[in-house]
Homo-oligomer: A and B are copies of this chain.
Amino acid sequence: LHQSDSNIKAGDEMVVYLVGAGPGDPELITLKAVKALEMADVVIYDRLANEEILKHAPHAKLIYVGKKAGEHYKSQDEINQILLKEAKNNDTVVRLKGGDPFVFGRGGEEVLALKEENISIEMIPGVTSAIGVPTTIGLPVTHRAVATSFTVVTGHEDPTKKEKQVKWDYTADTVVVLMGIGQIEENTREMMKYRDPETPACVIESGTMPEERIVMGTLGDIAKKDIKSPALLVVGNVVNVFKEMTSKELFY
Q: Is the CB of B27 within 8 A of A29?
A: no
Nearest CB on B from A107, distance (A): 6
Chain A interface residue count, Cβ-Cβ cutoff 8 angstroms: 83
Query: When A3-B212, A212-B4 are in contact, do A149 and B166 touch as well, CB less than 8 Å?
Result: yes
Q: Is the CB of B248 within 8 A of A1?
A: yes
Q: Is the CB of B137 within 8 A of A102?
A: no
Residues of B within 8 A of A153 (CB): 148-149, 172
Interface string of A99-113 (1 = CB under 8 A from B): 011111011110110
Chain A residues numbered 199-224 whose CB sits less than 8 Å from any CB in chain B: 208-210, 212, 214
Contact pick for A148, options B23, B111, B148, B157, CB 8 Å: B157
Residues of B within 8 A of A244 (CB): 112
Contact pick for A248, options B3, B32, B173, CB 8 Å: B3
A142 vs B142: C-alpha distance in the bound complex, in angstroms?
20
Residues of B within 8 A of A133 (CB): 125
Residues of B within 8 A of A144 (CB): 106, 108-109, 158
Q: Is the CB of B165 within 8 A of A171?
A: no
> Is A197 engaged at the interface, CB distance under 8 Å to the other chain?
no
Residues of B within 8 A of A90 (CB): none
Specify how many copies of this chain sit in the oligomer: 2
A210 vs B213: C-alpha distance in the bound complex, in angstroms?
40
Residues of B within 8 A of A167 (CB): 171
> Is A121 engaged at the interface, CB distance under 8 Å to the other chain?
yes
Contact pick for A102, options B6, B141, B246, CB 8 Å: B141
Chain A residues numbered 79-111 whose CB sits less than 8 Å from any CB in chain B: 100-104, 106-109, 111
Q: Is the CB of A111 within 8 A of B142?
A: no
Residues of B within 8 A of A5 (CB): 210
Q: Is the CB of A142 within 8 A of B104?
A: yes
Q: Is the CB of A102 within 8 A of B135?
A: yes
A27 vs B238: C-alpha distance in the bound complex, in angstroms?
30
> Is A38 engaged at the interface, CB distance under 8 Å to the other chain?
no
Q: Is the CB of B173 within 8 A of A171?
A: no
Q: Is the CB of B149 within 8 A of A1?
A: no
Residues of B within 8 A of A100 (CB): 127, 131-132, 135
Query: When A4-B212, A102-B135 are in contact, do A22 and B30 touch as well, CB less than 8 Å?
Result: yes
Query: When A28-B125, A131-B125 are in contact, do A173 and B165 touch as well, CB less than 8 Å?
Result: yes
Q: Is the CB of B134 within 8 A of A131?
A: no
Chain A residues numbered 1-15 whose CB sits less than 8 Å from any CB in chain B: 1, 3-8
